[in-house]
Structure formats: C-alpha cells, structure tokens
Chains A and B, each alone.
Chain A
Amino acid sequence: MTDMMHNFELFQPGSLADAQALLKKHGDDAWLLAGGKDSLDWFKDRVMQPTAVIDISGLAELGAGIRDEAGGVYISAMTTLTDVAENALIKDRFPLLAEAAAHVASPQIRNVGTIGGNVCQDTRCSYYRDGFPCYRAGGNTCYANTPTAMNREHTLFEAKRCVAVTPSDTAPACVVLEAEMVVRRGKKEVVIPAEKFFIGPDIDIERMTALKPGDILMGIRIPAKWSGSHQYFEKVADRNTWDFALVSIAMAATVEGEAVTDIRLACGAVQCTPRRLSDVEDLLKGEVPNEEMETLAGRVASSGSKPLNYNHFKQPLMSSLAKRAVRSMSA
C-alpha cells in the first residue's frame, strides 16, 4: 500500500495534565494530533516522523463546544469547522468567522478538522512540504525564491528569507475580530491576541504561531466588540473545494448613518501572517463608502507589495477583493 505511515506510538490521554506530561517526556519526538487532517499528510510523506503521537481529542478540559461569553463567544480549540460554520451564535454575531470556516477545504474535512488545527497549521509551501531542507526546515536556503522556482502561491509582503504564506482561512477572520488565543503553557493560562499569535519569519522562521514547544491551544475567545457589525469574507482559490486561498479577505466595519466609524481588514495568503490592511482602514474611517472610495481602497490595498516570479496576479486580486469588501458596505 502506498503512503504507509511510519511507526509511532499513539497516546490518547484523558486529561490535560497527562497530555502535558507526555509532551514533556517525549519532547521533540512528540506530536499533538487534533483533527489529524494535516498531521497524517505529514506522516504519509515521511517528512515528519514523530515517535509519540498524542491525540488530544479526549482531553476532559478541552471538550469541543462554543459558548456565549459576555456578548462574545468562546470556541474550544477542538470544535470542528462544521460546528463553527453552522453554530447559530457565531452566525448571528460573527458571520465572518462562520463564512471563513465554511470555506475551508471540503465538507468531510470540515467535519473532522478543528478550528484550533486550522489556525495552527503549517504553511503549504510545496518545497517545504516536500521535505526540502529550506530555512523553515532548519536549512540555509529558500527553494521557492529562485529564478526557476514555482512560487505562484507565495508571498507579496514581508519576505524575510522565507516566502511562505499563511494558509488558514479562519486566521484573517480571527485577526479582524480581535480574537484572543487561550494557550495553556505549563500550569499557566496565557492569552495571546490573534495579531501577535501569528508570527512571521522575522520573529521565528521555523514557526507560524507564537506557540512554544509543549504549549496547547485551548480555545479562541472572540470579544463582543465586533458583534453585529457589517462583516465580509471572500476567498479566491483555484477550486472552490480543497484548495487553499490564493488571496482571501476578511472585513468588519461599523457604519453609522452612512459613514464608516470603525473598520478592520485583513488579507490571508499574501504574507506569512494575516496582513492587516491598515492603510485602507485609515483611508476609510469617517468616509462614506462609494465608488470613489472603492477605487482608492483597491489602489492602496496592494501598494508596497513585492511579487516574486509567478505571483504578480495576486496584486490585482488583492485590490479587487478590497474593492469588493468596500462595495459590500454600500450595497
């Protein structure tokens, strides 16, 4: 049979303390398994071969679920993407996040894949995934940024040696909604704002998130601030199922009368982290969204981008998505 996985020991701890003890004992050889959709591909490719796989689906402290929290919501990291996309509370308050979750991969993957796994997943750079010893894998070169490399999925902004992008659809939504990541670090609970949770190669080239070895993401807390605001999500990918975003956009805005009072925008898949469109936000605050503002927003959105050999198309794509997001406010 093809794609046979390497031998590993599977642990199914029932409590957080057990999981942490196992993580500590096995150190670098340990691997946390949430939904397992991405993990098993790593194993089948034999690029990652951890000897101890720790299935955290049974942790008593981590029961899947979504609950109301002071007008916002708390989403356990083990909640499946289907549950996030179909939950009445989230659909009502944060339709942006429900939309983003509904656009991940395919129905069967959403039925098992978790929101925690989705925000923590590693980049999809095909060179990195194929086991090339690149910067991100601890090596000393980038295979995706050479004169002949295929890099149409890669970054437009903030390339620091590595040109990989964030693959997550829910990550830009979390950044826009000012979500907080609740992380268990040892015996402490650490709360990391989404914008600081996703890190670029300038901070650590081998990690996509602020999670340190041994950390477990427990849940995502979304404050009430953007509840009920005007929200917009759009993802462009090669196919509407399975494929990762070429560019995605998430927006939340409060509109009073006709003018925008507060707005947050973020793009996925154009940078190693979800990219806040701060210039567009500054441009739109206090303005009435109309055709002129759409055009301006489109121009500003992708300014400063530095495309690689094959991803110039992402610039107009990003501009168009920003335009469409702004247009959704006047519609």
Chain B
Amino acid sequence: MSEELMPYDPTVDYTGEPAIKEITPDGSKHIPPWKPLNLTRRRFLQGVVCSGIAVSNTAILFSSGARPARADARAVERLISLNINGRKRNVDVAPNETLAHTLRYKLNLTGTKIGCNRAECGACTVMADDVSIYSCSTLTHRVKDKSITTIEGIASADGTLHPVQQAFIDEIGPQCGFCTPGQVVSAVSFLKQNPSPTVDEARMAMSGNLCRCGAYDHYLKGVMKAAESV
C-alpha cells in the first residue's frame, strides 16, 4: 500500500490544532492564535506584593461613576482570598481556573469530586452563600466574594456528623460513594431553604446529582429523614 493510501492515524496525523481553524485560516473569526498571558515578570511581582490590598480595592477601582471608561482595565489579580468553610484561604488562582480545580489541587480539599467536569453530574456540588452550585463549572474568580462550603465543612468542628450525613448512613445512601459528597451538599443546601419539604420537592432538589449506582431512593429517604431532625 502506498503512503498516500494509508488510513488516518491520529498518532501521526493529529496536529493538535483546533479543528475549526481550517475554516478561518486568517484566524480572525472565532479562534485567535494562542497568545501567552499578558503578565510580565514586573506585573506578576507587583501582583504578589500588592495582592492584599488589591483584592479589597477592586470594588473602589471600578465603582466610581464620573470617569472615562477604562478599556485598559486590568485583568483580575491572580492572588486572591477565598472564604472556604469559614476560613480565609489565600491562593494563586489562574483566570481560567474552576473552583473544583482550586479546591482539589490548590487547597487539597479533595472531598469535592470531579465527575463529568461539565455541569452534568453533580459530584462537584459545593455551596456558595448557602446556594448549591457546580464547582467544576464555576470560575474561582466569580466566587471570591462568597462564602464557600465544601463537604469538609458540613460536619461540625468536633466531628459530629450533620443530620443529612447521619441520615444517609442510616438509609444506606452511598454504594460506591463517589457521588455522595455532592448529594450531601445538595441536601444540606436544600434543607436550609426548605426545612420541611414534601417528597416531590426533595426529589426535584436532588435532581441535579447523578448516582451511577442508582441509589436515588435511598438518598431521597435520607433527605426526608434528615428533614425531621434539621
């Protein structure tokens, strides 16, 4: 077989360039050529030194009314403070970093799981100001002003389990357990807003969490049981 007739072989032929590039050869439309971050050594050092005040100053920088619009407004500072489980954590966060990534790989809070990484499974559910969100599909910079609660912050400081956690154990909620952190956080957040739900309301509220073991009814019973003691 001559070389031209060889079938497509991704290990040889794959160029690593975005497929869509072929329709925009000038790179003008959707896909600009990759550029490194506009972050010089000097600006990075400034960022490191000033970050403490920079975070609190952002609001002032952008809030005054009567001044010309700033197209040169600086991109977000990388060094920010996050309020996680009641503690202030200083962390270096890239602009394109998701909250799940920050929690797991920067802060070592690995209780939050990454399942699909596309907001379609619920394993990464955390609370931002008591509202359940998918941390895999939230930019960390979006939640720097909110107070984040992860699965690590659900039980009380002395180790007593939250009623939801206890109820999930009693009702044998988890099988493999991978979705459980997300299920617990969803249930806690839901019971905070609706302490005495109906079964249908609870089912609706838990519908954003997938369980591949199919233990939905166990989790649902757990939520209803926890509702009695919350």
Contacts and interface: CB of A to CB of B under 8 A. Distances in A.
Contact of A107 (B18, B63, B207): B207
Interface stretch (B1-9, B93-101, B147-155, B219-227): B93-101
A108 B75 contact: no
B36 A7 contact: yes
B141 A18 contact: no
Contacts of B71: 18, 21-22, 24-25
B48 interface: no
Interface string B129-149: 001111001110110000000
Interface in B163-179: none
A311 interface: no
A35 B50 CA distance: 29
Interface residues of B, number: 58
B138 to A, nearest CB: 7
Contact of A28 (B32, B36, B73, B139): B32
Interface in A39-59: 40-41, 43-44, 46-53, 55, 57-58
B134 to A, nearest CB: 5
Contact of B122 (A12, A37, A108): A108
Contacts of B207: 106-107, 240-241
Contacts of B141: 10, 12, 55
Contacts of B138: 36, 112
B104 to A, nearest CB: 9
Contacts of B72: 25
B132 A14 contact: no
B70 A21 contact: yes
A107 B32 contact: no
A48 B30 contact: yes
A138 interface: yes
B63 A44 contact: no
Contacts of B20: 47, 131, 133, 137
Contacts of B28: 28
B62 A15 contact: yes
B230 interface: no
Contact of B95 (A1, A10, A58): A10
A12 B76 contact: yes
Interface in A1-18: 1-15, 17-18
Contacts, number: 160
A108 B134 contact: yes
A36 B139 contact: yes
Given A8-B95, A139-B23, A108 B142 contact: no
A152 B51 CA distance: 51
A10 B96 contact: yes
Contact of A17 (B18, B69, B186): B69
A35 to B, nearest CB: 9
Contacts of A12: 58, 62, 76, 141
Given A14-B62, A55-B141, A9 B205 contact: no
Given A7-B37, A18-B70, A60-B63, A55 B32 contact: no
The 5 closest A-B pairs by CB, nearest first: A14-B62, A106-B208, A10-B95, A17-B69, A21-B71
Interface of B: 18-20, 22-24, 28-32, 34-38, 58-59, 61-63, 65, 68-73, 75-76, 94-96, 98, 101, 105, 114, 117-120, 122, 125, 131-134, 137-139, 141-142, 186, 190, 204-205, 207-208
Given A10-B95, A137-B20, 5 more contacts: A8-B96, A15-B63, A17-B68, A51-B35, A60-B63
Interface of A: 1-15, 17-18, 20-22, 24-25, 28-29, 33, 36-37, 40-41, 43-44, 46-53, 55, 57-58, 60, 82, 105-109, 111-112, 131-133, 137-139, 240-242
